[in-house]
Amino acid sequence: MEKKITIAIDGFSSTGKSTVARRLAKELGYVYVDTGAMYRAVTLYMMRKVFVSEGNFDEEAIIRHLPFINLKFVFNEDKGYGEIYLNDENVEEEIRYMEVSKHVSRVSALPKVRKMLVDQQQEMGKDKGVVMDGRDIGTVVFPDAELKIFMTASTEQRAKRRYDELMGRGDDISYEEVLKNVKDRDFMDSTREDSPLRKADDAIEFDNSTLELEEQFDKVLKIVKDKIAEVNS
Ligand code: DC
């Protein structure tokens, strides 16, 4: 049987990581794990409890409540990927709202939150055959991943992508607000003390600003297939 590999895809928000990761998983018959969705779901839980809101961040309560959070991905046949469930409720859509985006970097900077989610991510990927995207997959979650990809794109392009996505969903939001959120999160995600976003030394960098989606995917797929062939040779 063909040996499977672990594929780690990291990068700033809205670089198109998840689109590439999902397609790759589908193409290879691998499991796709959106780790950003896990941090977002924890944040949503804390927002509902009002431990996190504009002007309030109750770190002690957040940590105390972590054991009450159960996360799982349930495969949606129509969509072709796993949707995230927070304590048995499908929150795939709600976690993408701007309010969650505003608070998620702060919640995900907490070491206890990271420890809990990294443990779960390592468990999900322990049998390989997984495509995982996030910020610290190649550096912390799977430092021994056979293939690491680091995606970049200009800030403006990423904000535009995110804005189009939110508008498509009917959100009432300005481009400036989205751009500010993207910049704020970039800053927090890359300067936090625990597992900041950085390119692993052995990651292959992809600048997604110029490449068309199709062209980019073909390039990534070729790299992946070469790597799988190498591992099986
Ligand atoms: O990929 P995303 O934009 O949905 O991620 C949301 C936030 O979650 C991101 O701003 C930082 C955090 N995150 C993280 O700290 N580590 C990960 N592996 C994935 C996401």
Residue 83: which CATH number? 3.40.50.300
Q: How far is the CA of 9 from the centre of ligand 1 (A)?
A: 12
Of all helices (H) and strands (E), which one includes residue 59? helix 59-65
Q: How far is the CA of 2 from the centre of ligand 1 (A)?
A: 31
Q: Is residue 93 a part of any domain in this protein? A: yes
108 lines ligand 1 (CB under 6 A): yes
102 lines ligand 1 (CB under 6 A): no
Q: Is residue 41 a part of any domain in this protein? A: yes
State yes or no: pLDDT of 169 exceeds 70: yes
Q: How far is the CA of 224 from the centre of ligand 1 (A)?
A: 23
Q: What percent of the chain is modeled with pLDDT above 70?
A: 99
**How does the average pLDDT of the chain come out, rounded?**
94
Taking only the tens place, the pLDDT of each residue in 179-193 is: 999 999 999 999 999
Compute the distance between CA of residue 28 and CA of residue 136 in angstroms, rounded to an integer.
23
Q: How many domains, the chain?
A: 1
Residue 86, domain extent? 6-225
State yes or no: pLDDT of 210 exceeds 80: no
Q: Is residue 148 a part of any domain in this protein? A: yes
pTM, two decimals, is 0.95
Q: Is residue 230 a part of any domain in this protein? A: no
Q: Is residue 231 a part of any domain in this protein? A: no
Of all helices (H) and strands (E), which one includes residue 19? helix 17-28
Probe residue for ligand 1, chosen from 9, 38, 108, 193 as the CB with the greatest number of ligand atoms within 8 Å:
108
Compute the distance between CA of residue 219 and CA of residue 209 in angstroms, rounded to an integer.
15
Q: Is residue 102 a part of any domain in this protein? A: yes
Q: Is residue 57 a part of any domain in this protein? A: yes
Q: How far is the CA of 36 from the centre of ligand 1 (A)?
A: 4
Q: Edge-to-edge, what's the strand order for the sheet holding 89-90?
A: 71-76, 81-86, 89-90
139 lines ligand 1 (CB under 6 A): no
CA separation (Å) from 93 to 61, 90, 96, 134, 166? 25, 8, 6, 18, 11
Q: Is residue 190 a part of any domain in this protein? A: yes
Confidence of residue 211 (pLDDT cuts 50, 70, 90): low
Of all helices (H) and strands (E), which one includes residue 131? strand 130-134
Work out the average pLDDT over 131-157: 95
Dihedral of the CA atoms 3, 151, 182, 157 (nearest 10)? Answer: -130
